[in-house]
Amino acid sequence: MWRGRWPDHAASVFTYFGVSLPEFYWGLVFILVFGSTFHLLPSSGYASLSDGPAAFASHLVLPVATLTLTLLAHVTRLTRSSMMEALDSMYVKVARARGLPERLVILRHALRNALIPSITVLAQDFGFLIGGYRRGRDGVCLSRARSDAGGIARTAGSADDAGGDPSTAAQRI
């Protein structure tokens, strides 16, 4: 693999920044870069599906990228450490000693076992993206959408305003 080479170091720098900086910081950076500086994506507002799929999708890109960047960095770090541990294991050394091609050793033996913890964390992250989370009672609920969005976002927001937690909001929906 690339242990100790420049792609490994670049991925490590990406993951350190992705994990250490909070979501609201990345949201501001994305708005400044893609919304204000380059004018590639809308920095605010809402577009329904009746406005067209392209307008609807363009309004979703920045929020989705903001929420998934930290999660992606965390899963990347976990997959890298699991992969390095799997590559040092005895069954990978035996597969290499048997003369299997390196690609087959990595894909069939090492990656298959290294992805088990990553898939577990991805399943938990999916629950976070659907239900949101709160940091204490005074914290912020990241799943909170604009109240004029309607539908599920309005129902979840009203349940959150009533003092419920995101799991209560998900049950009410």
pLDDT band at residue 89 using 50, 70 and 90 as cut-offs: very high
Which band of pLDDT confidence, cut at 50, 70 and 90, is reported for residue 130? confident
Strands (E), 25-96: none
Domain residue ranges in the chain: 6-131, 132-173
Measured over the CA atoms of residue 24, residue 146, residue 166 and residue 171, the dihedral's sign is negative
pTM: 0.69
pLDDT of residue 137: 35
- The whole-number pLDDT of residue 103 equals 95
Whether the CB-CB separation of 3 and 62 falls below 8 Å is answered with no
**Which of 43, 75, 81 is CA-nearest to residue 62?**
43
pLDDT digits (tens, 9 = 90+) for 101-116: 999 999 999 999 999 9
For residue 150, the 8-state DSSP code is: -
Give pLDDT tens digits for 38-79: 999 999 899 999 999 999 999 999 999 998 998 999 999 999
Q: Please report which confidence band the pLDDT of residue 135 belongs to, taking 50, 70 and 90 as the band edges.
A: very low
